[in-house]
Amino acid sequence: MSIVNATTFRKDMYQYLDNAVELNQVITVTTKKGNAVILSEEEYRGMVETAYINSIPGLAESIIAGMNAPDSEFVEIDWKNELPD
């Protein structure tokens, strides 16, 4: 994570934005009125998805259980035959 004041951020804005996108670096920009955080769209979408999954009771636990389940518990489905014409 980088912490930078607004003046420095403005001067090197494109480099900071590239770092956020390419390196998933979170940047805190400090100002007199408070701070702002800059992060990549990928990081933001991941946070929103995580919050959504955790907002549904039992879903996170169900996903974890599925990830830990042995392959013998899964059934292979041929979707071409399962979908209606």
**Mean of the pLDDT values across residues 53-69?**
94
78 token code pair: 């041929």
Query: Cβ neighbours of residue 3 under 8 Å, at least 6 residues apart?
Result: 27, 28, 30
Predicted pLDDT of residue 79? 84
Q: Measuring CA to CA, how many Å separate 76 from each of 11, 54, 62, 85?
A: 55, 28, 19, 20
**Residue 40 backbone dihedrals phi, psi, to 5 degrees:** -70, 160
Ordered by where they begin, the domains of the chain are 2-38 (3.40.1620), 42-69 (no CATH)
How does pLDDT run across 9-43, given as a tens digit for each residue? 999 999 999 999 999 999 999 999 999 999 999 99
**Mean of the pLDDT values across residues 44-65?**
95
Residue 31, CB-side half-sphere exposure with 13 Å CA sphere: 9
Predicted pLDDT of residue 16? 97
Q: How far apart are CA 61 and CA 64, in angstroms?
A: 5
